[in-house]
A and B are shown apart, each in its own frame.
Chain A
């Protein structure tokens, strides 16, 4: 790994002050460190934000669950408050990687990285999340821009993610047997008035499947999306799954999710 300067920031202000065009924030490091080791990313400065107390913790109010950006996956999966308010969110966290990744990886890191197969971005879309940064609030629908791309500006730090508590929800994924990343993951959330069907792993970026949302908003039953023929032209195709198989998996996982709601 190439040389860099390690900094441990004590608050968001210090962290963003240290940030430059050749720096990165370090939370759990579950993607950052392997990427740097493989030479896929190089930074002059790594700014550790794990020790910023304000960035960790879970708050549940009547309508929302707010999770600090540096909160670890294991904390989300073990939280009784999250289990009670949005059980699907805690089971999503429990299905990320392996115990060592969950002991270390953070929700903010996962979202900032926006891996096309990551689990948390689908939760943000399905649960109408608001991403709180040190500068502004961003709606999830406007946050995820493309493969590994987000609306974050240089030096902008995610502080918390605020999820809307749905009436019902479920996340179902077909995991890669080795990495546990989603080959396809579908997060269905029924809110008052509408239904979100957030899909991860299928395309270059997480998205809300409008066709399925519409069908399910009319009739919230897996029969209303049964046999739906999704357009696979923009779907990923690799050694794990062809685009057509992914298109079919999206419907299968969505049906499973609706049935599990």
Chain B
């Protein structure tokens, strides 16, 4: 199935392939070299710069997006590798200009300071609530293991996730 979209061509010596994804409900098709990371594809090919690149070594979690309903670190997945999938980025959470309850909760409870880790933090937390509707403090902290924040000290992030759990 994926194969049929996978037409290899050579442009300027780079190995290129066609990437077809559904990103935030919109179908996209772009040529990209085989070594394109999903994070690069989202930011540079689709201009969805809400997904941040922090450490670029799959530790900090600023680049977390959802692929087919599960969170993953987009700096550690190839665009080719998720070809044909449904991707949701931070830009895809709002509905008709209204923030997602998780975004609202982060805003209300000061779950951020500089905001750099926030897109990944929010995407990771939304994935948690999809799987566990009423997580305990410990479960929230365990889940956010792969998301690093150097400003807040995490207290307000945990509080925001708990608040969002009452609204989702």
Is A bound to B?
Answer: yes
A-B pairs with beta carbons under 8 A, tally = 87
Complex partner residue of A104 from B34, B57, B59, B72, CB under 8 angstroms? B72
Do A8 and B2 touch (CB < 8 A)? Answer: yes
Is A8 a contact partner of B3 (Cβ separation < 8 A)?
yes
Q: Provided the pairs A6-B34, A37-B57, A38-B57 are in contact, do residues A98 and B76 lie with their beta carbons within 8 angstroms?
A: no
A91 → chain B closest CB, angstroms: 13
Q: Is B137 an interface residue (CB 8 A)?
A: no
B89 at interface, CB cutoff 8 A: no
- Is A5 a contact partner of B15 (Cβ separation < 8 A)? yes
**A73 CB, min distance to chain B CBs, angstroms:** 12
In the bound complex, what is the Cα–Cα distance between A2 and B145 (angstroms)? 30
Q: Is B119 an interface residue (CB 8 A)?
A: no
Which of the segments B77-85, B108-116, B158-166 contacts the partner chain? B77-85
- Size of B's binding interface in residues, CB under 8 A: 34
Quick check: is A26 within 8 A (CB to CB) of the other chain? yes
Complex contacts, A98 vs chain B, CB 8 Å: 61, 145-147
The reply on A21 being an interface residue by CB < 8 A is: no
| Alpha-carbon distance A67/B64, docked complex (angstroms) | 28
Residues of B within 8 A of A4 (CB): 15, 34-35
Of B81, B127, B146, B147, the contact of A26 (CB 8 Å cutoff): B81
What CA separation (Å) do A6 and B15 show in the bound complex? Answer: 9
Give A145 to B1 CA distance when docked, in angstroms. Answer: 38
Q: Which of B2, B58, B147 is within 8 Å of A34, CB to CB? A: B58
Selected from B2, B14, B77, B145, the residue in CB contact (under 8 A) with A99 is B145
Q: Contact between B17 and A104 (Cβ–Cβ < 8 Å)?
A: no
Asked if A6 contacts B73 (CB within 8 A), the reply is no
Most buried by B among A2, A30, A33, A74: A33
- Known pairs A8-B6, A34-B76; A100 contacts B57 (CB<8 A): no
